[in-house]
Amino acid sequence: MVNNKPTIVISKCLGFSKCRYNGDTIPDKFVKELGNYVNYITVCPEVGIGLPIPRETIRLVLENNEIKLFQPSTGVELTKDMIKFSEEFLSKLPEIDGFILKGRSPSCGTKNVKIYLGKEKAVGSTKGAGLFARAVMDKFPSKAIEEEGRLTNLKIREHFLTKLFTFFALRQIKTLADLVKFQSDNKYLLMAYNQKEQKILGRIIANHDKKDFKNIMKEYEDHLALAFARAPRYTSIINALQHIFGYFSDKLSAKERTFFLETLESYRENKIPLSVLIHLLKGYAIQYQQEYILRQTILSPYPEGLVNLRDSGNVD
């Protein structure tokens, strides 16, 4: 395992092993491409609890206000087995940075998994998370966690990658000076995500209460997780980019300023991706030797090789 890469736990059926209930695997283009930049730890919770390949389907059922894992063909309840496996597997993990799980799976789905209202001849259903996925979200609430299907959505994918690599970078920090630089380099990314939490993070590293470094890091990570709890609004992104543009606007010609503002408007109208604006600003920063701006992670929150992956659909 390469130490200078983020580590992701991923459902084994996503191109690694033919372990689905029907004996299939599901190759995923994004998962394969991302594999060049991360370490993967694979898992199949259903095989992990001893179910064979192929196997009879299992489902989530709601019974007596409890969600249970059930195999209709055999009448076997697997709830305790899955809870035990999840706890043991997750407790033995090394330091990890994120999860990519199989969507709609009764074990791995993070949302929109069908939950039947009873074991026998259920007349209705609701939706929720699979048992393994729920354990993941409970134990690692601040990590980047997504389903493979949702990652076909460009904005969801950008948020996932940004969170993944930002928290991986945070994990490398060993001193308060490093943390101060981290805050500085992420100034405009944090501005785009959550200005309220950005200010709180600044107060944490100011350390007026003279806390020890371990406590500072814990508090900082907790509030960084709040800042990255959801993808930024496009209006907040535009605000951050306008602040960066202020470093160059007086150096540009009237036509250049107009061109940038028109490009910004095209992004506002969802006609172009964010990467177009990022490349423009990065070009200005290089041209005018703005090293402080070139260090800003908002210009490159994750590896460039992942920027060119095209959107292949929209998932709410």
Q: Which whole number is the average pLDDT over 279-288?
A: 96
- What is the structure's pLDDT at 310? 54
Q: Is the pLDDT of residue 123 over 80?
A: no
Residue 314 phi, psi (nearest 5): -120, 130
Q: Give strand pairing partners of 101.
A: 147
- What is the structure's pLDDT at 139? 98
- What is the structure's pLDDT at 313? 42
For 2-43, the pLDDT digits (tens) are 679 999 999 999 999 999 999 999 999 999 999 999 999 999
For 56-97, the pLDDT digits (tens) are 999 999 998 999 999 999 999 999 999 999 999 999 999 999
Cis peptide before 45, with omega less than 30 degrees from 0? no
- Return the ∠ at Cα 58 (arms to 52 and 63), rounded to 5°: 140
d(CA 216, CA 213) in angstroms, rounded, equals 5
Is-contact 37 69, C-beta < 8 A? no
Residues of the chain above pLDDT 70, percent: 96
- What is the structure's pLDDT at 316? 46
- What is the structure's pLDDT at 3? 78
Q: Is the pLDDT of residue 202 over 60?
A: yes
- What is the structure's pLDDT at 122? 62
Mean per-residue pLDDT of the chain = 95
Q: Is the pLDDT of residue 311 over 90?
A: no
- What is the structure's pLDDT at 312? 42
For 151-167, the pLDDT digits (tens) are 999 999 999 999 999 99
Q: Is the pLDDT of residue 315 over 60?
A: no
Residue 52 phi, psi (nearest 5): -80, 175
Q: Which whole number is the average pLDDT over 99-105?
A: 97
For 223-279, the pLDDT digits (tens) are 999 999 999 999 999 999 999 999 999 999 999 999 999 999 999 999 998 999 999
Q: What is the pTM of this model?
A: 0.94
Q: Is the pLDDT of residue 308 over 80?
A: no
Q: Which whole number is the average pLDDT over 204-222?
A: 96
